[in-house]
Amino acid sequence: MKSLLLIMVGAVFVNNFVLARFLGLCPFLGVSKKVETALGMGMAVTFVMVVASACTWLLQYLVLTPFNLDYLQTIAFILVIATLVQMVEMIVRKSSPVLYQSLGIFLPLITTNCAVLGLAVLNIQRNYSFVQSLVFAFGAALGFTLAMVLYAGLRERLTLCPVPRIFRGTPIELITAGLLALAFMGFAGLVPN
């Protein structure tokens, strides 16, 4: 139980996917103009990450390892994740148009997201059990959402600020992201890797 908690805290704060591992930077910078969309993206990522880590874990230990095909890991995982996201998009679109309106537009963005792939690979590298890998996925997604929402909040505030002209737009946003990452460095060492 304690190890699960450690995995969770480690994934959310200490080794935050975005701010410490620098995975999934494209949605982090792209979909963070408003808190609402950032939250929607975070929820979509949470869902995909948990499901994808379950599927890839099963694929690894039921197919790849027994047949000594570990070297196919990357390509096989990409295939599985992409298929999964596409299918989820179709199902959501049909079954719940409302959910699709709020969540669906983000799904194609996740298809080949490095954060999702990175998570699947890390699960295997660290020899996590099935349950551990699910907890790790959930924690990582939570950390991703946290970073997204924080950054989106900052960006909303930023638009109100009188920024010096040469810093306006992307430059100040990147500086803000860097400062946020620096702040998260304060968690370093809290949990052993």
Residues touching other proteins, count (CB under 8 A): 26
DSSP string, 31-76: S-SSHHHHHHHHHHHHHHHHHHHHHHHHHIIIIITTTT-GGGHHHH
Q: At 43, which amino acid appears?
A: M
The count of C-alpha atoms lying within 13 angstroms of the C-alpha of 57, restricted to the half-sphere facing its C-beta, is: 21
Residue 186 CB partners (closer than 8 Å, separation 6+):
none
- Min separation Cβ 160 and other proteins, Å: 4
- For other proteins, give the closer residue by CB, 92 or 135: 92
**Which residue in this structure is represented by tokens 């537009």?**
105
* Contact pattern from residue 33 through residue 72 relative to other proteins, giving x for each residue in contact according to CB under 8 A and a dash for the rest: ------------------------------xx--xxx-xx
When asked if residue 75 is in the footprint of other proteins (CB under 8 A), the reply is yes
CB of 78 or CB of 149, closer to other proteins: 78
Q: What angle do CA 186, 192, 193 make, to 5 degrees?
A: 85
Of positions 1, 95, 170, 192, contacts other proteins by CB under 8 A: 95
- The residue (of 69 and 183) whose beta carbon lies closer to other proteins is 69
Binding footprint of other proteins on the chain (CB under 8 A): 63-64, 67-69, 71-72, 75-76, 79-80, 82-83, 86-87, 90-91, 93-95, 159-162, 165, 168
